[in-house]
Structure formats: structure tokens, C-alpha cells
Amino acid sequence: MYRLTNQIPETVQQELAAYSPFLQQLLYARGVDTAQAAVDFLEPSYEEHLHDPFLLNDMDVAVERILHAIQNDEKIAIYSDYDCDGIPGGVVLHDFCKAIRYENFINHIPHRHYDGFGLNTAAVEKLAGEGVQLIITIDCGSTDVQAVDHANKHNVDVIITDHHQVKENVPKAVAIVNPQVGTTYPFKGLCGAGVVFKVVQALIEKGDFDLTPGWEKWWLDMVGVATIADMVPLRDENRALAFYGLQVLRKSRRPGLQQLLRKQKANQAYLTEDDIGFTIGPRINAASRMDNPEDAFYMLAETDEAAAGARVDHLEKLNNERKGQVASMTKEVHKRMEALVEIPNVLVLGNPEWRPSLVGLTANKLAEEYNAPAFVWGRDGNGNIKGSCRSNGQVSVITIMEQVADMLSEFGGHHMAGGFGVKEETIHELPQAMSDALSELGAGASVDMTRIVDYTLSLEDITSTVLREQQMLAPFGMENKKPLYVIESVVPSGVQIFGKTKEHTKLTFDTSGLVKEAVAFFRLPEQFTKAPEELVSCTLLAHLEQSFFMGRMQNRLRIVDIL
């Protein structure tokens, strides 16, 4: 269910005496327990909280090689991953090259469905044939030993910029710039776009470029998008990058971004991390899930209004197609589930016609609706069976996969979600094997999902001061989760199901506080621990949120559960 977070000790109260008891408790719940730590957290500094880029592994070698390429007009390929980290990272390096007036470069992004993740030999072959002499990876490459060897055979140098874990056998690249490599960099948590931003900082420091001091700050919009969307910890350097990234996003001159936000009726001046999660991120991802990832890249990098607008329209079309395909998959899954005499303890479903890039959302819906871990698979453009899995919140999907590892070609993730590949010869036995594995594991597969509540509020407690003080902790994300509140003995004056397809829930309240409603998207009243009823007292677990929509600021609760 839930428990209250540890109460703040008296010594910490004294350290944080400059703040209200409410803000003290929220800070303490985030590990902030000294006056200086509070200042650092609440007032992130671009100058003071960003580390020296040359502390990153191989940074000096990478910078020297890139500057040599620029001075000798070598053709450079910027090779970035196809997701919400790699694509913005590719835009950062693209914009740097444009800013220093270096034109002999191309951006290349692998196709998710046909190429898969990382640097591949076919792409190296193609780029070498086009006269590329230097490949710079972004958000990939750390484990691509074979592809880097292939590049070396073609006399193409590779610089890897990445943030993923490396294996014992590292690629023979010119440089591997990665906070996970070596011991000199003080923060391991950068995303891929964050790493390449550090490369740009280092290049500006060492190169003799005609750039206005601080010009690189305009590219923090892309770093902010990636840092928030890629779910890296919003601590240390990342907090500063996300904080200032959002500030730049609110002023960004990118015509594609501006038009995308206008279409979605999102006010650019009031953008939050939620807008990245629900508006910007899904449309960047739609490009690689449905078609060519470079569509998203050009939407962000394009400077021409009309061309950028065309990219936005195309991405919107792809995003709608994605929704349609997911709805169709979910409908098929429901039919198959209804035909079952008994619901198994692990749900394993798939279809060779489904795209692996889309099955995660269906797995999520299955896990929620049937309260069981769900594994859903499809077949990629190379004939490989791949899938995504989601927990029901009580069972670890990674523990289940470990039990049937001999049937899988690959797997990874964490307790709540993951990805997997299946060997062709074992796909039909997988449902029974996973079901047996969970039965045998019993309590060994369980995970403690007790929710940690930050603070107890009443509806009347929610004032402009509370909203303002919560906002001081933003942006929220990994390791700085949006505060969770318990609100006891609330009596809804109304309970509504709303939306075109009637799948969202809204509660309304008569209160002197600023919040008059609580909403839950894609959840119906009966899907909570206790179904809410008009004029019947209940307890809410909820987040407090503000959003600027249709020209007005809305204050509301986002329901996590009703008890």
C-alpha cells in the first residue's frame, strides 16, 4: 500500500531552518540534509555544477582527433541512436558544426526495425563508401566491437560518445568518451546527449572558433529533452542540465519545436518536464517506431519554417498511426484473452506481424487490466523475435526472465519493465515455461512496491505557497520523483468518466483550497483499490500538478490510487 517517508530529524530541521516545514520534508526525502546541499539543489548553477569535460575518459584524444578532422576538411559522420536521447544528441553536434561553419559532415541514424540498436557493419560499409573518414557515435557504440573493427579495416576512425555500460572486450576506437569508463569523471549518470554536449564544450574550449561566449547554451534545449526523456537520474550535473534545458526550451527558436507545441496547444513559455514526457518525446519516438528516425531529427534541426512544419505534420501522422496500430494490437489481445478458459499467472502473447517497437504499450495495458506480468512480442525487419514486458507491480519480470534465460536470445531491464529476444525454436514453449518459472519462484519473484508518501495534506492545505514550494524542486524525474501525497477523508462531490472513448476518471471537490479536481488518465473508477463514489469519503494517493493549457493555468491532483 503506502507508508510515510522517514520524518526529518531535529538536526536536519536546524540545517534547513531557512525553509518551511513542508519544503524541509520534501528536501529531506530527496536526500538533502544540509544548508549547502539545499542551496545546490534549489539553485542549480550552470557555471558551478557542470564538471570539467576533460575529466571524461579519452576526452583529450577525442577533441584532438575531431579538431584534426575539421582542420583537414575530413568527412565526418555523426552516428546517433534512434531514440529520445540519441536524436537530440545528434542535433547538438549538428548545430555545433553549423555554428562553426563546418559543412563536410552528415548525420546518420540507424533504422530501428531493420538495423537495430548501435553501430553496425552494414552502416560502416555504406559510410566508408561515401568517403567518411571519422565516425562519431552518440548514445551507442560502447559494445560494438565488430563494427569498430570493420571501420578500422576501412581506415575509418571511430570516436564513441556514449553512457551505456561497457563489457570486458571494449571496441578498438580512437576514443571512448563515456562516464562509465575510467574513474576520473565525478558523475556517472549523464545521458548520451549530455556526453556529446560535454564534447562540444571541450571542442569550444580547445578550438579557435568564432563563437560568442556561452553560445552553446542554446543547445541545452536538446540536452534537457534527452536528460528528462531518457530517465537518467536528475541529480548532480543532470539537475543543472535539465533545469537550464527547460529554461532554454521555453525560449527555443527551433521552428519545428514551436509548431509542434502550437499544434498540441502547449504554451512554450510554461513548458514542464511533463510536456517532454507526453508531447515532445512520443513524437520523437514515433519516427523510429513507425518509419524513418531522421524525420524526428530534421523536425528538431530544421531552420526553415515551411520545411519544419512539414516534418511536424508527418510526425503527427506517424504518431496517430502508432496509436491506431497499438489500439488494433490491444483489441486482438483482448479477443485472445477472452477466449481463454483460465487466465495464466504470466501473460505471454505475440504476433509475427507486430512491430517489436510498439508492443510495450500493449504489455503495459495487459499487466494493468489482468494484474499479471505481461510479455508481448513481435518480429523485426530482420526476422528476429523481440518483445517488451511489464510487471503488474508485484512481480519482477527480470527474475522471471532469468529463470528461462536458455530460451531467450537476449534480455534486460529491471523489476518493473524490460525487453527480450526469443529463440525461434522456443517461442511456442515460452508461455508455459514462464508460468512454471513464476510458480516455482513463488515469493522469490515478489518485489516490495509499497509506495513512499512524501507528505500528508488536506485539500484545504493546497495553497499558492504549497504549489510554489513544490515547483522549487522541479524538474522531476528519476531520483527526484514528483512528490506523492496522501490526502485523507476526502468526499468527492462528483465522479465522472470523461474523454472521447470514456476511459479517464475525474473527481471534483467542494473545497477552499486551490485544487478542485483530481484526474486519472486511462483508468476507470473500478481499477483503483477502492472505486470512488459521489459523497462517500475516501483516501487519495496523488501528485499535485500545474499545467498551462488552453490559455489558463490548471491546478489539479493526478490520482495514483484511491483507498
Share of the chain above pLDDT 70, in %: 100
- Beta-strand ranges (E) seen in 310-439 are 347-350, 374-379, 385-390, 408-413, 417-422
What's the pLDDT score for residue 115? 82
Q: Describe the strand order of the beta sheet including 134-138 as a list of residue ranges.
A: 105-108, 76-80, 134-138, 157-161, 175-177
The domain ranges of the chain are: 6-43, 53-217, 340-445, 451-562
Distance in angstroms (rounded) separating the CA atoms of residues 246 and 260: 16
Residue 220 has pLDDT above 80, yes or no: yes
At residue 450, does pLDDT exceed 80?
yes
Q: Would the CATH topology of 340-445 be identical to that of 451-562?
A: no
Mean pLDDT estimate for the chain? 94
Name the fold adopted by 53-217.
Answer: inorganic pyrophosphatase (n-terminal core) (3.90.1640)
C-alpha cell at 508: 471534483
Query: What local confidence, expressed as pLDDT, does residue 501 receive?
Result: 86
For residue 501, which amino acid is it?
T
Q: Tell me the pairing of strands 451-453 and 2-4.
A: parallel
Q: How far is CA 32 from CA 232, 235, 471, in A?
A: 19, 11, 16
Give the pLDDT of residue 368.
87
pLDDT at 538: 96
> What pLDDT shows up at residue 382?
85
Beta bridge partners of 334: none
Mean per-residue pLDDT, 499-524: 92
Q: Strand pairing of 552-562 and 538-549?
A: antiparallel
pLDDT for 470: 97
Q: Which pLDDT tens digit goes with each residue over 343-363?
A: 999 999 999 999 998 999 899
* Range 295-308 average pLDDT: 94
- Asked if residues 163 and 60 have their Cβ atoms less than 8 Å apart, the reply is no
Q: Residue 560: is its pLDDT beyond 80?
A: yes
Considering the domain delimited by 340-445, tell me its CATH architecture: Roll (3.10)
Average pLDDT over residues 38-51: 94
Residue 128 has pLDDT above 90, yes or no: yes
Q: Which fold has domain 451-562?
A: OB fold (Dihydrolipoamide Acetyltransferase, E2P) (2.40.50)
pTM, full prediction: 0.91
pLDDT value at 154 more than 80? yes
Strand order through the sheet with 552-562: 455-457, 485-490, 538-549, 552-562, 517-520, 504-508, 494-498
Question: Distance between CA 480 and CA 468 in Å, rounded?
Answer: 17
The one-letter amino acid at 153: K
Mean pLDDT for the stretch of residues 314-337: 92
pLDDT band of residue 465 (cuts 50, 70, 90) is very high
